């Protein structure tokens, strides 16, 4: 899904994708759902560590 009709931006993204050859291009929308999905993915891949539910229910901590 493309979140804009701004043709110059869409062309730039297409050109950059041709250069970098990503598996997928994802448009971020800044929603709470997107945040939760990305945090879950980062926990599953070991990039984030889930904090103790007793101390901080539902929050995640990024690890370096």
Domain tally, the chain: 1
In this structure, are residues 27 and 2 in contact, taking their beta carbons and an 8 Å threshold?
yes
What's phi and psi for 29, nearest 5 deg? -115, -5
Residues 6+ apart with CB under 8 A from 25: 13, 17
**32 part of a folded domain:** yes
Res 21 pLDDT > 90 = yes
Q: Is 0.85 surpassed by the pTM of this model?
A: no
- Does residue 2 form part of some domain? no
Domain coverage including residue 39:
7-62
Contacts of residue 28, defined as CB under 8 A and 6 or more positions apart, other chains included, come to: 34
| CA 63/CA 9 separation, integer angstroms | 33
Q: Tell me the mean pLDDT in the region 25-29.
A: 90
Q: Are 26 and 13 contacting, i.e. CB atoms less than 8 angstroms apart?
A: no
- Looking at per-residue pLDDT, the higher value among 42 and 3 belongs to 42
């Amino acid at each position: 899904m493309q979140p804009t009709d701004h043709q110059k931006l869409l062309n730039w993204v297409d050109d950059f994708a041709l250069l970098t050859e990503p598996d997928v291009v994802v448009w971020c929308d800044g929603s709470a759902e997107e945040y939760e999905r990305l945090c879950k993915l980062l926990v599953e891949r070991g990039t984030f560590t889930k904090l103790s539910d007793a101390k901080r229910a539902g929050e995640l901590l990024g690890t370096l």
